[in-house]
Amino acid sequence: MARGDRTTLADVAADAGVSVSTASLAFSGAGPVAPKTREKVLASAARLGYRGPDPVARSLRRGETGVIAVVVGDRLQRSFSDPVSTQTLDGIAQELGERGLGLLLVPSDTFGDVPPLLRHGAMDAAIIAGLSAPGDPALRALRERGVPVVCIEATRRDASTVEIQDRAGTAELTGELVALGHTRIAVITLPFGPQRHRRFFDPAGDVRPAYTPTRNRWAGVRDAGVLPVLAVEPATSLVDEGVACGRMLLDRPDRPTAVVAASDLLAAGVLLAARDLGLRVPEDVSVAGFDGVDLPWLAPDVLTSVTQPLTEKGRTAARAAAALAAGEKPRHHLLPVTLRTGTTTGPAPR
Amino acid sequence: MARGDRTTLADVAADAGVSVSTASLAFSGAGPVAPKTREKVLASAARLGYRGPDPVARSLRRGETGVIAVVVGDRLQRSFSDPVSTQTLDGIAQELGERGLGLLLVPSDTFGDVPPLLRHGAMDAAIIAGLSAPGDPALRALRERGVPVVCIEATRRDASTVEIQDRAGTAELTGELVALGHTRIAVITLPFGPQRHRRFFDPAGDVRPAYTPTRNRWAGVRDAGVLPVLAVEPATSLVDEGVACGRMLLDRPDRPTAVVAASDLLAAGVLLAARDLGLRVPEDVSVAGFDGVDLPWLAPDVLTSVTQPLTEKGRTAARAAAALAAGEKPRHHLLPVTLRTGTTTGPAPR
DNA sequence: GTGAAAGCGCTAACAG
DNA sequence: CTGTTAGCGCTTTCAC
């Protein structure tokens, strides 16, 4: 509400010569009101320039705000460079919009300080849309306030969750590569946790990333019976980073014949790096990604990838949040993925 | 707030053996409270699991919500494919975050139905971040409610505005091309208005796009003394569209020697189209854009462009919204641009 | 079908 | 420094 001297329901009621309660009913429609009376009230409202019930007062009275907070990565410019984020957010926004719920966008890293809004903002529930590691302070802050939470791509008790078949999807994808005869396969994972750095790691070692999808997609590779010849943890899941990781993997004598990247953006980067190094894809090296996002600027290539239903993921999360706000119990959702064979994978070179 | 039986300030006050008002002061810090008393109150709060004042009640009492609505294009996935949008939003989010204000994200086209949230949502002010044409129903709805509005890149009375030097910047850029000897220059504008379509239009005709930046950037071209040999209105300002427009312009015998696109994304598309047609840039054709966004996947090319301060634009809009919410009068802001000479422009071929 | 009354949880005068 | 008092604007029993 704009500050200042609004006309209130009481003014309207007075003008119409009815009681406030009757005027209220005329607006909300809840309860029996004589058509004539309603007309009168509406007319008075129009005359006085009354814009309908004050949302804040209504919220206070009804005990609900109609607002769902959506927590995304701290740097929007970065988060939103990833179609995975934007498409998910789009799904959330669509579903919330259709339900008349508000979307409070809260940028917050899942480590470090929690923005005051998360502690004090008005909300009925929250969706943590960015990657969230165990002990996530944002999640903790929300819990302490008693705000019900939906986590996307994170395994949590006491919260609703929306996940996809990361593990099975990656296993299937990797299996395809094996079937094509590849034995020297390299992997680029997702970032392991909040402290981001680019590095080789020992694929035979004890690999336990804090982030759930990172862990699951890695497990999927192993499920396919593959022990990567090289494994890189990237600092982010963006194109630039894919280029950098691609160089590390491809610009060496013992380069692999196939690279499985845990995201399409990373895979796209690898593709660019390969082109830059004069390698043909897929003749010299196969490249596969994950997410199934649309990357038109990669044309004429189309990434071989695992397609996940991003918009539906967002919608599911939004529905889950609405359900929690309505007092339902937390639930866990698992969405299916499908393999998409593009132009970037082929038989292993001999 | 989660629904249900919260413990309230009254409970805490009772437990601590003080009055509600004192307890309130202990939390807000406004007003003198004996340190000891404060301790007592805080202790009681902790014991009872009190999470601090209910934001809704506080809003009702104070008459302000601490929420700024940000209106963006209807399809987030599309809007956020444009770095111009995301970077601006990032600026808005940064500034609002620092001020402890909430960001209510409202996807809405600037024509057609207005989402209920805009009519009934709780907010102190709104920023219309997408392109907005005169008569924009979202703007009108906000006005009717008495919500103060900030428009980005749109000229409006009764609203604060944040604009950049679209016209002068484009004129300078076009001037460079002229200086390089180009005489056959083609132009791709921004979309003219809400009804989007791709088409050639008569550059010598009466050109009056509804969208302010479209109008101003076109005017800038003319200011440079250039009458384009070909002019295209694009349906969107995205890469795909740039490719399509680029084809229309370059795949013909009388092709121009330079293309000025009104956005970097469009220019990037033209570049891709040129590469695809086997044209060398800038030897065969020069390509220039506008916005100065970072397009790493265009490497090794860097677009010649006009750089606008996108993050600052967002921050300025957010500050303006906060000012309006605080009761200040609308103001108009104009931000400077700078020319960035990249690798995509060169002397006109003979 | 309509009205009176009781708050939702908090803050801000104003007294003491 | 602390307590009393009065609402913010609305919805919702509950009588009539």
The average pLDDT across A292-317 equals: 95
Highest mean pLDDT pick, A36-45, A72-81, B266-275: B266-275
Q: DSSP letter at B153?
A: S
% helix / strand / coil in chain B, to the nearest 5? 40, 15, 45
CA neighbours closer than 13 Å in the CB half-sphere of residue A124: 25
Confidence at residue B2, expressed as pLDDT on a 0 to 100 scale:
38
The average pLDDT across B3-13 equals: 78
Given an 8 Å threshold on Cβ–Cβ distance, is A81 in contact with B81? no
Count other Cβ atoms within 10 Å, centred on residue B47: 12
List the single residue in A81, A90, A296 with the smallest CB-CB distance to B239. A296
CA to C1' distance (Å), from A17 to C1 = 15
- List the beta bridge partners of residue A304: A288
Interface mutation vs chain B, best among A96, A98, A120, most B CBs within 10 Å = A120
- List the beta bridge partners of residue B288: B260, B304
Among chain B residues, CA nearest to A125:
B2
* Chain position carrying tokens 């034995």: A183
Closest-CA residue to A67 (of A102, A92, A97): A102
Q: Is the pLDDT of residue A157 over 70?
A: yes
CA to C1' distance (Å), from B37 to D1 = 10
- As ranges, strand D nucleotides with an atom below 7 A of a protein CB are 1-13
Tell me the C-alpha distance between A313 and A150, whole Å: 12
B19 touches strand D (CB under 7 A): yes
Per residue in A108-132, pLDDT (tens digit) is 987 788 999 999 999 999 999 988 8
- In order of A221, B167, B211, B285, B348, the CA distances from B189 in angstroms are 47, 12, 11, 18, 21
Among A10-19, A200-209, A255-264, B164-173, the least confident range: A10-19
What backbone torsions phi and psi does residue A244 show, to the nearest 5 degrees? Answer: -60, -45
The average pLDDT across A190-218 equals: 95
One-letter amino acid of A334: L
Tell me the C-alpha distance between A139 and A134, whole Å: 9
Confidence at residue B299, expressed as pLDDT on a 0 to 100 scale:
83
Helix (H, G, I), strand (E, B) or coil at A45: helix
Nearest residue to D6 via alpha carbon and C1': B61
Give yes or no for B266 touching A (CB within 8 A).
no
Tell me the C-alpha distance between A70 and A103, whole Å: 7
Confidence at residue B36, expressed as pLDDT on a 0 to 100 scale:
86
Confidence at residue B34, expressed as pLDDT on a 0 to 100 scale:
85
* Local confidence band at B4 (pLDDT 50, 70, 90 cut-offs): very low
Count other Cβ atoms within 10 Å, centred on residue B140: 11
Q: Is the pLDDT of residue B51 over 90?
A: no
Could you tell me where the beta strands, DSSP code E, fall in chain A? 67-72, 102-107, 125-128, 149-152, 160-164, 185-188, 199-200, 230-233, 258-261, 286-288, 305-307, 332-335, 338-340
Q: What is the CA radius of gyration of chain B?
A: 26
The average pLDDT across B195-214 equals: 95
Percent of chain B with pLDDT over 70: 99
Given an 8 Å threshold on Cβ–Cβ distance, is A2 in contact with B268? no
A326 touches strand C (CB under 7 A): no
Given an 8 Å threshold on Cβ–Cβ distance, is A145 in contact with B51? yes
One-letter amino acid of B348: A
The burial of A225, by beta-carbon neighbours within 10 Å (0-12 exposed, 13-18 middle, 19 or more buried), is given as exposed
Confidence at residue A1, expressed as pLDDT on a 0 to 100 scale:
39
Q: Which two tokens stand for residue B176?
A: 């460079």
Count other Cβ atoms within 10 Å, centred on residue B317: 29
Helix (H, G, I), strand (E, B) or coil at B50: coil
Q: Is the pLDDT of residue A97 over 90?
A: yes
Tell me the C-alpha distance between B269 and B287, whole Å: 10
Q: Is the pLDDT of residue B3 over 50?
A: no
> What's chain A's average pLDDT?
94
Helix (H, G, I), strand (E, B) or coil at B192: coil
Helix (H, G, I), strand (E, B) or coil at B157: coil
Given an 8 Å threshold on Cβ–Cβ distance, is B77 in contact with A87? yes
Q: Which two tokens stand for residue B168?
A: 């002068």
A31 touches strand C (CB under 7 A): yes
The average pLDDT across A82-106 equals: 97
Give yes or no for B240 touching A (CB within 8 A).
yes
The burial of A53, by beta-carbon neighbours within 10 Å (0-12 exposed, 13-18 middle, 19 or more buried), is given as middle
Confidence at residue B5, expressed as pLDDT on a 0 to 100 scale:
62
Q: Are A208 and A151 in contact (CB under 8 A)?
A: no
CA to C1' distance (Å), from A192 to D4 = 58
Confidence at residue B211, expressed as pLDDT on a 0 to 100 scale:
95
* Chain position carrying tokens 């639930």: A331
B343 touches strand D (CB under 7 A): no
Q: Which positions in chain A touch B103 (Cβ < 8 Å)? A: 104-106
Q: Are A85 and A79 in contact (CB under 8 A)?
A: yes
Confidence at residue B1, expressed as pLDDT on a 0 to 100 scale:
39
Tell me the C-alpha distance between A305 and A294, whole Å: 11
Measured between CA atoms, how close is B37 to chain A, in angstroms? 23
Q: Are B312 and B255 in contact (CB under 8 A)?
A: no
Tell me the C-alpha distance between A318 and A127, whole Å: 8
**Residues 180 through 209 of chain A touching chain B, CB cutoff 8 Å:** none
Q: Is the pLDDT of residue B142 over 50?
A: yes
Helix (H, G, I), strand (E, B) or coil at B33: coil
Q: Is the pLDDT of residue A4 over 50?
A: no
List the single residue in B1, B70, B90 with the smallest CB-CB distance to A122. B1
The average pLDDT across A238-251 equals: 96
Nucleotide with smallest C1' distance to residue A31 CA:
C1
> What's chain B's average pLDDT?
94
Tell me the C-alpha distance between A31 and A25, whole Å: 6
Per residue in A33-47, pLDDT (tens digit) is 888 899 989 999 999
Q: Is the dihedral of CA B126, B127, B129, B131 positive or negative?
A: positive
What backbone torsions phi and psi does residue A338 show, to the nearest 5 degrees? Answer: -135, 150
One-letter amino acid of B222: R
The burial of A274, by beta-carbon neighbours within 10 Å (0-12 exposed, 13-18 middle, 19 or more buried), is given as buried
B63 touches strand D (CB under 7 A): yes
Confidence at residue A5, expressed as pLDDT on a 0 to 100 scale:
63
Measured between CA atoms, how close is A187 to chain B, in angstroms? 22
Q: Is the pLDDT of residue B102 over 80?
A: yes
- In order of A15, A301, B168, B230, B349, the CA distances from B274 in angstroms are 68, 17, 27, 16, 15
